Amino acid sequence: MPQKLLDLFSKILDIIFPPKCGFCGKINKDYLCKKCEVKIKYLKRDSIKKVKNAFFKYHLYAYNYKNEIREKMLNYKFHDEPELAETFSKLMLKNEKICRFLKTYDIIIPVPMYRKKQILRGYNQADLIAKKVAKELNIEYIKDALIKTKQTKTQSSLSAKERQNNVKDAYTYNTKQKIKDKKIILFDDIYTTGSTAKECSRILKLSGAKEVSVLTFAKD
Ligand SMILES: [Zn+2]
């Protein structure tokens, strides 16, 4: 579809479904109102931490996974509210320190979902946010560089040790050539014990990535 037509289509959609603040629901073209931005400021972290003994070098995250952020992330994942990706990506992009760091990387890749699970949910929550962040920062985005090859249990229902076993060999690479010798940002919505991040970055390194760092919207 030509770009002009796409723009027009998006304008019409904005009139029928006006953009709303993801937190209070009031109409707001930025998907986030000033009042809510200030209200959740106490959960903002802007963290860039070097990680030892992992296949990834740094872990970056923007918010603590608590209260308002936790509530909205749960809605986003489990209550069919994909439009919250707009609000989360806006919050992520407001973080100058993290954005500056991201721009030193070549590619952003989201943690994939198992195909059947994604069909049921209708979207991959990591993909929706990562795609917007990559586009805005002008970083190459490869959605399908990793594939989830087995259906695992929901990580949040497991202990740290169980989480590690649960994700073991659950991912494989898809586009080995495209990531060879590249600096990669792996994106996921939440970081808890890091089991998923560790396993996915292991696969990316095995596929020839030069360096992997992990970006999550929030940290538990
Ligand atoms: Zn609001």
Residue-wise pLDDT for 187-208, tens only, equals 999 999 999 999 999 999 999 9
Examine the domain organization and report whether 59 and 29 are in the same domain: no
Mean pLDDT for the chain overall:
92
Examine the domain organization and report whether 163 and 126 are in the same domain: yes
C-beta of residue 107 within 8 angstroms of C-beta of residue 133: no
Examine the domain organization and report whether 88 and 147 are in the same domain: yes
Q: Measured in angstroms, how far is the CA atom of residue 27 from the centroid of ligand 1?
A: 8
Q: Measured in angstroms, how far is the CA atom of residue 38 from the centroid of ligand 1?
A: 9
**pTM of the model as a whole:** 0.91
Strand stretches in 1-73, DSSP E: 44-50, 58-64
Examine the domain organization and report whether 12 and 75 are in the same domain: no
Q: What's the pLDDT band for 16 if we cut at 50, 70, 90? A: confident
**Closest to 136 measured CA to CA, from 74, 84, 85:** 85
**Closest to 201 measured CA to CA, from 145, 157, 156, 159:** 145
Confidence (pLDDT) at 89: 96
pLDDT digits (tens, 9 = 90+) for 54-103: 899 999 999 999 999 999 999 999 999 999 999 999 999 999 999 999 99
Examine the domain organization and report whether 154 and 89 are in the same domain: yes
CA distance 145 to 156: 25
Instruction: Give the number of domains in the chain.
Output: 2
Examine the domain organization and report whether 16 and 47 are in the same domain: no
Task: With H, G, I as helix, E, B as strand and everything else as coil, classify residue 121.
Answer: helix
Give the Å distances, CA to CA, from 92 to 46, 74, 106.
Answer: 9, 17, 18
User: Containing domain of residue 16, as a range?
Assistant: 1-39
Examine the domain organization and report whether 35 and 102 are in the same domain: no
The answer to whether residue 1 scores a pLDDT higher than 90 is: no
Q: Measured in angstroms, how far is the CA atom of residue 9 from the centroid of ligand 1?
A: 26
Q: Measured in angstroms, how far is the CA atom of residue 35 from the centroid of ligand 1?
A: 6
More confident site: 46 or 154: 46
Examine the domain organization and report whether 80 and 105 are in the same domain: yes
The answer to whether residue 177 scores a pLDDT higher than 80 is: no
Q: Measured in angstroms, how far is the CA atom of residue 36 from the centroid of ligand 1?
A: 4
Examine the domain organization and report whether 23 and 48 are in the same domain: no
Q: Measured in angstroms, how far is the CA atom of residue 30 from the centroid of ligand 1?
A: 10
Q: Measured in angstroms, how far is the CA atom of residue 72 from the centroid of ligand 1?
A: 12
Examine the domain organization and report whether 87 and 172 are in the same domain: yes
Q: Measured in angstroms, how far is the CA atom of residue 59 from the centroid of ligand 1?
A: 28
